[in-house]
Amino acid sequence: MRSRGKAVFLVLCLSVLLLLFGCSQSSQITSGHNSTTTTSAAKGEGGEQYPNGPIEMIVGFGAGGGTDTMARTIQPKLQEILGVPVAVRNMPGASSALAVEHVQKQQSDGQTILFQTDLIRVFPTMGMTDYTYKDFEQIGIGAMGIATFTVKKNSSVKTFSDLVTLLQSGKAKVGVAGIGDPWHLTLEIVKKTVGGKAEIITYDSGKNAAMAALRDEVDFSISGVNEVVDLLRAGELRALAVMDKKPFQVRGLGSIPPVTDFEEKLAPHVPEGTWWGPSVKAGTPQPIVNKLKDAYSRIVQTEEFKKFAEERAIVLINIEDPQEYTRKITEKTSWLLWDIGVGKRAPEKVGIPRP
């Protein structure tokens, strides 16, 4: 009897243990499910788990160009700050419109970044794509390639005042990268302000437009100082002025005067040039946007980035609200292009009101 009692007692203990083990397992399974849900929410809404894998930074131009160089300069630091691999992927075509459309097909999760240029402001009226700045959240605009007017070293056009006189004569031949690009916009602003006409000849980059001036194909070219800085330092080109209201210092070259030294009427239109900065698809959770903004802000303040900008004659700028800045510049540029007859469609048709 005693042995039977012991057996019953052991069976009861075993049953209790099995019951407790089963409850524990059930609790763990439920807890695991909740944990997954919480992590998902953090990734999608809170951003605490962002990034959750490798990031792609899309560049809408070929390798070796100004935009590509800028992206590859910030890539190592972005990778270091975010703690995941960041790959730069070149996707040239249609003045970066193909890259814009590619990013718009991705998830709004910050895992795909568009390394954007100022060309986003011309898309509405030039009809390259239906996407506008509204389809993106601007992370930051920290650097700018300032527009400059260059001639070959022995050109008869000695100053920016001579350039204005040439435009007013209606006999100027001008080289720019393309219709609707920042350098063409610069020309149109100057023409509209001082009066004048010009034959516009396009090349596939600002540097190639400058090379055309060396070959006497054009009287002068307009490009970014950063695109022609090596030619300026070598003494093959002369910079007549920059599209700004203050002198531009170029290491190893000296100072380039501002256009306002020659034409005060240009003051409301400067500075002018191209700019770069990362952006993500609209709808990306704000905590993720904030994390990227913080990372980019830290990068452009590093000594390494400042040294790079000085070497390449890039202007460092601090736009506090890049989204609002992009809105204003898009409205201004779109309507300028439309009013001078270059735009392909009225900006209002794609929701860009006249400023």
Distance CA 180, CA 184 (A): 6
Distance CA 171, CA 95 (A): 29
Residue from 102, 101, 133 nearest 120 by CA: 133
Distance CA 286, CA 291 (A): 8
Q: What is the model's pLDDT at position 27?
A: 34
Alpha helices in the chain (DSSP H): 2-41, 66-82, 97-104, 123-126, 160-169, 182-194, 206-214, 225-233, 286-300, 303-311, 322-339
Q: What is the model's pLDDT at position 31?
A: 31
pTM of the model: 0.77
The tens place of each residue's pLDDT in the chain, 355 residues long, gives 444 444 434 434 434 333 333 443 433 333 333 333 333 333 445 557 899 999 999 999 888 778 888 999 999 999 999 999 999 999 988 888 899 999 999 999 999 999 999 999 998 898 889 999 999 999 999 999 999 999 999 999 999 999 999 999 999 999 998 888 889 999 999 999 999 999 999 987 888 999 999 999 999 999 999 999 999 999 999 999 999 999 999 988 999 999 999 999 999 999 899 999 999 999 999 999 999 999 999 999 999 999 999 999 998 988 999 999 999 999 999 998 898 888 999 999 989 999 9
Quote the crossing angle between the two packed helices 66-82 and 303-311, to the nearest 10°: 170
Q: What is the model's pLDDT at position 330?
A: 95
Handedness of CA 220, 222, 228, 232 (dihedral sign): positive
CB of 209 within 8 A of CB of 218?
yes
